[in-house]
Amino acid sequence: MKQRRRHETATLRCLIAALDNAGAVQVPAAKRDYSQHEGRSEHVATGNGDGPTEVPRRRLSEDDVQRLLHNEHEERLAAAVEFERLGKPAEDLRAQAAIIAGYLRPPS
């Protein structure tokens, strides 16, 4: 960020969000049913056992991270191809894919 590399900073922020989302734990349906709690917002953690609270995040393995990076890389390349097919510029998508490629393990 200090070097003002706009594309790299934006791409890394997207990857951090994707990794954060990948670590989210699915809340069981029983915990998501707030209809029985009149007057309570589903967005407020009560912490007393009768509503939503923080749960530990899923730990991602190195393979999980590499799979996520690979998917993000492939999505950007596919989007770039589609943009180009439609006659739209795809340089940003290709630049993002190149940045992500720098974090991928070499194929074994």
Identify the domain containing residue 80 by its residue range. 1-12+61-108
Dump strand ranges (E) for 5-49: none
- How high is the pLDDT of residue 6? 81
- Does a structural domain hold residue 32? no
Q: Across all residues in the chain, what is the average pLDDT? A: 82
Ramachandran assignment for 12, one of left (phi > 0), alpha (psi -120 to 50 degrees), beta (any other): alpha
Instruction: Supply the pLDDT for residue 32.
Output: 55
* Each residue's pLDDT tens digit, 69-82: 999 999 999 999 99
Q: Identify residue 14 by its one-letter amino acid code.
A: C
Cα separation of 93 and 76, whole Å?
6
Residue 42 included in any domain? no
50-98, pLDDT tens digit by residue?
555 667 888 999 999 999 999 999 999 999 999 999 999 999 999 999 9
Q: Quick one: pLDDT at residue 5?
A: 76
Question: Residue 105: CB partners within 8 Å, gap ≥ 6?
Answer: 66
> Is the whole model's pTM more than 0.85, yes or no?
no
* Contacts with 24 (C-beta within 8 Å, 6 or more apart), sequence order: 57, 58
Judge whether residue 106 has pLDDT over 80.
yes
Q: How many domains would you assign to the chain? A: 1
Residues 6+ apart with CB under 8 A from 96: 7, 10, 11, 14, 76
